[in-house]
Amino acid sequence: MAPNLLRKAGQAVALNAIANWTTLIGSFLSIVIIARILTPEDYGVFVMALMVVMLPEVIASGTLGDALVQRKELRPGHINSIFLQSMTLSIAAWGLLILLAPWIAKGFGEPSVAPVLIVTGAILPIGAVMSVPAALLQRDLRYKEITVIDILGTVTAAIVGIVLALLWRNEWALVGMEMSRRLVRVCGFLFFAKWMPKVESNWLDFQELVRFNLANGTSKILQTFDQMLPKTLIGVTLGSHAVGVFNLPERLFQQANQALIAPFAAVAMPVASAMQDHRESLHQAMDSAIRMSALLAYPTFMGAFVVAPYAIPVVFGEQWAPSVPIFQIYMVIGLRAPITAIILGVFRGVGRPDVVAWITLTSIIATSTLLAFTYQYGLVAIAFALLAKQVITFVLSTWMIQRVVGFTVMRQLMAGSSAFFASCVMGIVVWLFMDFVPTGGHPLLHVIETIVLGALVYPVALYFFMPRLGRHILRAVRILLSGQPREALKTVRGALTEQGI
């Protein structure tokens, strides 16, 4: 069972990666264009409204569908029960947001937040309809269909966002962008899952799911609250401009995380659920996922850290220059992301969302304590507080996964160590190039040259830390340069399989 499941999981990771890379490219291009049209204040107003919607969205639709993925035996009544719960909670939450919108906007000191919040609240019932078919596709690892949906959603949202930004030049362009993405996704999930909402369910169906839903819901609510806390504090104390400045690096980090790490984290829960009684196979799958995600994530985060002071003002405009140090701190945070993201999926997969809840509660306590001492010193101090909090939760989560499934802390750290050291070498070379090689042409050309240099140095550095894999990658590069992309891909795939990745 394990080899077939791992093969299917590997295909799911590849398909999810295609979708997420397409999302990254499309979102990045749209962010660049829209960020040059709109102001940090526009972004700040939209982010304030979206933050408020996040918590009821998690309660209404972001957690309940996980029970359909995790459960070994699934009946139609379970599916209908989840839909009824999601829809009831989402409609009630939207109504409450409509009533409270003026007071919420007053709390932020931004009256324009109120209408944006009322309209953005429509994503709650949309998410309730989407949660069931999305969970059914994920349960069956049908990531081919999910890939198509994600690509369509990204392309549509990018087009809508850019057009509306050019026409309206305010925060409503971002609202339209988000709404269009959600609508395309819900239509796509319904079409591919071949599922239509039904209401036939009973009390037994609800009871069989309620224990997991309560534990999983608590953990996700706590995670969302933890994410909301810094920007809520910034919005209340420093205003919409500061929220916009802080949001850009966080958004870029989330996009990179989605493309590089999320494909592995997305399948961690269903794979862990299927392998929860086969610990050695689960350890092998976790080891492979951490190694592979680290190979991609570490050089990206390290390279972005080095080029950020030059690249962000050139790409996004000088008005976003204050975001640079915050972005660099987020890139340091990203170095622990591959391990943590996979660990959290495994906890849920083996039926222990309660552990995620305890880790997240610790994170909230750490965030609150650190922010209380740092927020008055500005955005960079807040970002450093988040970095310190991530160190605390990283130590706790790696220790807890060892206790729960027996995957040792040392094995977790060693899985990505070669990629980390190779990325450090690459970062030093790129930094020396940026500091000592004069800029001869357009600044954007210099940024591109720097990125290309990093992409060439990394596989060479990897050669010294993983000689066998490094030889295969260098061979694949030569094959690619000779005009044989398929053969190059086969070479890389064979090398990864040989390394147990």
Dist CA 300 CA 170 (whole Å) = 32
- CA-nearest of 353, 75, 83 to 214 is 353
Residues contacting 207, CB < 8 A, separation 6+: none
DSSP designation for 65: T
Q: Which residue type, as a one-letter code, is found at position 22?
A: T
End-to-end CA distance of the chain: 19
Closest Cα to residue 457, out of 429, 488, 495? Answer: 429
Q: How far apart are CA 277 and CA 46, in angstroms?
A: 45
* Residue entry with tokens 């850019």: 162
Task: Going residue by residue through the chain, which has 501 residues, state the pLDDT in tens, using 9 for 90 and above.
Answer: 444 554 555 555 555 556 556 666 766 777 778 888 888 888 888 888 888 888 888 877 766 667 677 666 777 777 787 888 888 888 999 999 999 999 999 888 888 889 999 999 999 999 888 888 888 887 777 777 877 888 888 889 889 999 999 999 888 999 999 999 899 999 998 898 888 777 676 666 666 666 676 766 777 777 778 888 888 888 888 778 888 888 888 888 887 777 777 766 766 777 777 777 778 888 887 887 788 788 888 898 999 999 998 888 888 878 888 899 999 999 998 888 778 878 888 887 777 878 888 888 888 899 889 988 888 888 899 999 999 998 998 889 889 988 888 888 888 888 878 888 999 999 999 998 887 777 666 777 888 888 888 888 888 888 787 776 666 666 666 665 566 656 655 655 555 555 555
Whole-number pLDDT of residue 65: 66
Per-residue confidence (pLDDT) for residue 382, from 0 to 100: 92
Residues constituting the chain: 501
In this predicted structure, what is the pLDDT of residue 21? Answer: 61
Q: Residues 301, 329: contact at Cβ < 8 Å?
A: no
What residues contact 107, with CB distance under 8 A and at least 6 apart? 236
Contacts of 297 (CB under 8 A, 6+ apart): 256, 257, 260, 261, 334, 335, 337, 338, 419
d(CA 321, CA 478): 38
Element (H, E) at 291: helix 279-316
Residue 351, CB-side half-sphere exposure with 13 Å CA sphere = 10
Tell me which long-range contacts 289-292 makes (C-beta under 8 A, separation of at least 24): 289/13, 289/264, 289/338, 289/342, 290/264, 290/338, 290/339, 290/342, 290/412, 290/415, 290/416, 291/415, 291/416, 291/419, 291/499, 291/500, 291/501, 292/13, 292/264, 292/496, 292/501
128: Cα within 13 Å, side-chain hemisphere: 24
How many Cα atoms occupy the beta-carbon half-sphere of 162 within 13 Å? 13
The span from the CA of 361 to the CA of 363, in Å, is 5
Query: What is the number of alpha carbons within 13 Å of residue 160 lying toward its C-beta?
Result: 19
